[in-house]
Structure 1
Amino acid sequence: MGIMRLGYAHVRVTDMAEAKDHYASTLGLYETHSDTAADGAKRTFYKGWDEWDHHSLVLEEGGVGVVKYGWKVEHESDIDDIESKAKAFGLTVERMAKGENPEIGDGIRFTTPSEHVFEVYHQATAYGTEVGSHNPDAFPRHLVGVGAPALDHSLITSEDPKLMERMLTDVFGFYATERVQTSLDEDHDLVGTWMTSNNQIHQLAVIGGPQGKLHHFAFRLDSWNDVGRAADLMTMDDVPIDVTPTRHGITRGQTVYFFDPSGNRNEVFSGGYLAFPDRPTTVWTVDQIGRGIFYHSRELNERFTTVLT
């Protein structure tokens, strides 16, 4: 299968104490580890209650934006396969050793055409879900805040989304579920692409913009009701909300966008349809991008298109 899922997002925050309050108290993630990296940066590791690997989010003190993404493969041999494909694509690949990332095994690392760092690995320490895997309850009895079950996806920017789409296709075996294009003609410019390797509606989206930037990373929720409750809790906790509860046209997901204390944009996301490789790619034209992103208001706010970290 190759890439199974987005394993972790590693992001920078300006103040670790404020960030921990946001991700632990408001979002309800579980801290699994903290340390100081070789360069002296403080790091804290988190997982959602329904995730079984050691972590899915790493916070590193010192700035804003994304440091790197980790992608988990199904088999150890998939690492070698992706390494070969990455080199054939023209990427410079280096090996990473077990332990370079706490509780993560051997793998590879490369920088994408969009100047984002990707790591590919197979082994991660099994931490276990909060409800266990033997006759489990539906959810933990004492959830904190939003109680986000898991990391879901991320959106990044690139000066050349079409090149990134080709890289994700050729190297990772992803396929595009939805696109925003300048026209329906074959010779079109690509404004954005939503891509996955499995039935998830998207694991990574890429839109046009500066190299190496983060637009947002998202956590999965179960329902539209959970999205509304999350927005209520953010108001209680004075979390800056970028976009109040609404639906996407693209993916059909339900969403709230908000900012962590450092200014990194987060999202909680539910719904969306099941994706399949043989499903025709949904295409949106630029004149309908407002409805595609925010189905109800049918227009983009200025922050959503300009604030990146």
Structure 2
Amino acid sequence: MAMTGVLRPGHIQLKVLDLDESVEFYSNVLGLTETGRDAQGRVYFKAWDERDHHSVILRQADSAGIDFFAFKVDSCATLDKLEKDLNAYGVATRRIPAGELLETGERVRFTLPTGHDIELYSKKSEVGNGMSDVNPEAWTAAAEKGIAPIRLDHCLLYGPDIEKAQAIFTDVLGFYLVEHIALDDSQDLAIWLSCSIKAHDIAFVRHPEPGKLHHVSFLLESWEKVLRAADIMSMNRVSIDIGPTRHGVTRGTTIYAFDPNGNRFETFCGGYQCYPDNKPTKWTMDEVGAAVFYHDRKLNDRFLTVVS
């Protein structure tokens, strides 16, 4: 598959209630690397194997949740084209100037019918992963700090009008539907969308209140690393929602837990590879438990109702 257009998830800005406590958590428990602080007081992080300057930004706020989620595109020309395509589709956009986020070029921001702000950008400073581009070793010391995910992987957003959000991603941005949970013959409860060969790069669940974050997900290398993450969470008294377990949707292995502010995060491994010509997988409501938590084959109330 030629990787053109939208490449991958690039960054998320999270609202936190206590910035100092959150920096401690994201640095030493989750194991991200701090890469900078700006004049607004925001703190920037990257996962150890990410090359770009940051993928997570924390902002002090009165409530937890998400400010925006961004995707990197392959060039400035693609950024310009996608902005024009969004406008032609009836989606209003605005340009965020280069430098408003540290080490990041111009961003195009638009609001989905679900109430979430999405950004596109093409430029971000490359800081590397601490290994040489020539004859590198297998990993660095940063790969052993805390849970130490490889990268920001995806997010799950809750809001209304998910079919309209899906249309924007598929008709304009080149994503495709990988899996869905059907409420009935006319609408879905949840959708999983990809711009790559990953099982998903973003997902949505139908929810009456707009602009809500269910979770942000970080990729681990193996099931053993997921189990190690569970140990680290227990050692640090992290509030675990569910897991370690497996999803039916995507077939990934997972733990869901909460940061100190109530933002849910996922440590995720696996998931199959897929391509745009694959037929989407459909789950029905009588098997929704197995779709989400394959081992238990049932949902817990907190997973369905707690969002930030």
Q: Distance in 1 between matches of 2:89 and 2:286?
A: 33
Indicate yes or no: 2:102 matched with 1:99.
Answer: no
Deviation at 1:119, TM superposition (A): 1.4
Determine which of 10, 13, 20 is the counterpart of 1:10.
13
Deviation at 1:44, TM superposition (A): 0.5
Q: Distance in 2 between matches of 1:49 and 1:132?
A: 14
Q: Distance in 2 between matches of 1:130 and 1:216?
A: 28
SS at 1:36's partner residue?
Answer: coil
The Cα offsets for residues 36-65 of structure 1, whole Å up to 9 and x where unpaired, read as 31xxxx211000110000000000011210
State the one-letter code of the partner of 1:11: L
Q: Distance in 1 between matches of 2:8 and 2:275?
A: 15
Describe the shift of the 1:70–1:132 C-alpha distance in structure 2 as closer, same or farther (beyond 3 A): farther
Deviation at 1:133, TM superposition (A): 2.3
Gap regions ≥5 residues in structure 1 = none
Q: Distance in 1 between matches of 2:262 and 2:150?
A: 22
123-132 or 238-247, which moves further after superposition? 123-132
Q: Distance in 2 between matches of 1:298 and 1:154?
A: 22
Deviation at 1:167, TM superposition (A): 1.1
284-293 or 88-97, which moves further after superposition? 88-97
Q: Distance in 1 between matches of 2:161 and 2:286?
A: 20
Equivalent residues in 2 for 1:269-308 (5 A)? 269-308=268-307
Q: Is the Cα contact below 8 Å between 1:196 and 1:204 reproduced in 2? A: yes
2:187 maps to which residue? 189
Q: Distance in 1 between matches of 2:213 and 2:141?
A: 34
2:156 maps to which residue? 155
1:214 maps to which residue? 213
Equivalent residues in 2 for 1:95-244 (5 A)? 95-141=95-141, 143-183=144-184, 185=185, 188-209=186-207, 210-244=209-243
Q: Is the Cα contact below 8 Å between 2:44 and 2:55 reproduced in 1? A: yes
SS at 1:273's partner residue?
Answer: coil
Q: Distance in 2 between matches of 1:164 and 1:110?
A: 11
SS at 1:231's partner residue?
Answer: helix
Deviation at 1:141, TM superposition (A): 3.4
Q: Is the Cα contact below 8 Å between 2:113 and 2:162 reproduced in 1? A: no
1:51 maps to which residue? 50
SS at 2:131's partner residue?
Answer: coil
The Cα offsets for residues 155-194 of structure 1, whole Å up to 9 and x where unpaired, read as 00121111111111122110011011124x4xx2111110
58-67 or 104-113, which moves further after superposition? 104-113
SS at 1:162's partner residue?
Answer: helix
Please provide the CA RMSD for this pair: 1.1
Q: Distance in 1 between matches of 2:132 and 2:256?
A: 30
Regions of 4+ moved over 6 Å: none
Tell me the TM-score normalized by structure 1.
0.95
Q: Distance in 2 between matches of 1:144 and 1:138?
A: 15
Q: Is the Cα contact below 8 Å between 1:53 and 1:128 reproduced in 2? A: yes
The Cα offsets for residues 230-288 of structure 1, whole Å up to 9 and x where unpaired, read as 00100000110000200000000000000000000000000010010011100001111
Indicate yes or no: 2:28 matched with 1:25.
Answer: yes
Q: Is the Cα contact below 8 Å between 1:158 and 1:164 reproduced in 2? A: no
Aligned residues: 302
277-286 or 137-146, which moves further after superposition? 137-146
Tell me the TM-score normalized by structure 2.
0.96
1:34 maps to which residue? 37
Q: Distance in 2 between matches of 1:133 and 1:237?
A: 35
Q: Is the Cα contact below 8 Å between 2:239 and 2:258 reproduced in 1? A: yes
The Cα offsets for residues 208-230 of structure 1, whole Å up to 9 and x where unpaired, read as 01210000001000111110110
SS at 2:78's partner residue?
Answer: helix
SS at 1:191's partner residue?
Answer: strand
Equivalent residues in 2 for 1:242-257 (5 A)? 242-257=241-256
Gap regions ≥5 residues in structure 2 = none
SS at 2:229's partner residue?
Answer: helix
Q: Is the Cα contact below 8 Å between 1:157 and 1:212 reproduced in 2? A: yes
226-235 or 125-134, which moves further after superposition? 125-134
Q: Distance in 1 between matches of 2:107 and 2:79?
A: 6
